[in-house]
Amino acid sequence: MSDSPTALITGAGRRVGSAIARELHQAGLNIAIHYRQSQGEAAALASELNALRPGSAAIFAADLNDPSALPGLVDAVVEHFGGLAMLVNNASTFYPTALGEADGAAWDDLFASNLRAPFFLAQAAAPHLRAAGGCIVNITDVHAERPLKGYPVYCAAKGGLLNLTRSLAIELAPAVRVNAVAPGPIEWPDDAAVFPADERAAIIAHTLLKRCGSPHDIARTVRFLVLDAPYITGQVINVDGGRTAHL
């Protein structure tokens, strides 16, 4: 077991979550890789990280839609690594909910992953984070403040996560810092039907930099907030190529 501090990253098996895991691991942290369905990808990532630094990564399964599973996830990480210093709430569900077509199941699902789970994970982790003088980083979305047409439930949930970030910064001060990173056009779901190519192109055209960002842009910003920002709390950093500068 390493003496390095441990970061729990939800949804870390793939996409942006895996980029965050690699970035924080490179900085010397132990990485608790949470997954729900991507066991193979999570295990491959853990093997990759452990090959670089033995015993520095492990995988943990949990359904974030089940509130009763969240304290157990935190307990399992603490038992394995001996502590918990950082929580990155990255896991997210994203799909459209057109007004007039949305139902209660979609509402519950989108709020569970994007808002309820981050709160209850923070609540379960709080004693360990306080003991470590640690931090939380929530991955929100630029549309938490500037809603995207056709996605009202998702935007409402991410808006709640943004305000939860500020609320937790108050609740956990002064021992624990809480911040957020809000991606713009970084990496969309693999299913083009969820977010069509023409909509993606229009969003990229509306950025000042006229290009899509990469998961590494998010990962580097998370690393900054975790390791290099001791006097920043209750804030959100938009990583969006300038999209929100003129929305």
Q: How far apart are CA 202 and CA 29, in angstroms?
A: 38
Q: Which one of 35, 95, 151, 154 is the catalytic residue?
A: 154
* Structure tokens belonging to residue 217: 């842009």
Burial class (CB in 10 A: 0-12, 13-18, 19+), 52: exposed
Q: How far apart are CA 91 and CA 110, in angstroms?
A: 11
Q: What are phi and psi of 226, to 5 degrees?
A: -75, -45
Packing angle, helices 152-172 and 104-111, rounded to 10: 30
Q: Is 151 a catalytic residue?
A: no
The secondary structure element, H or E, covering residue 180 is: strand 177-183
Which residues are known to be catalytic?
154
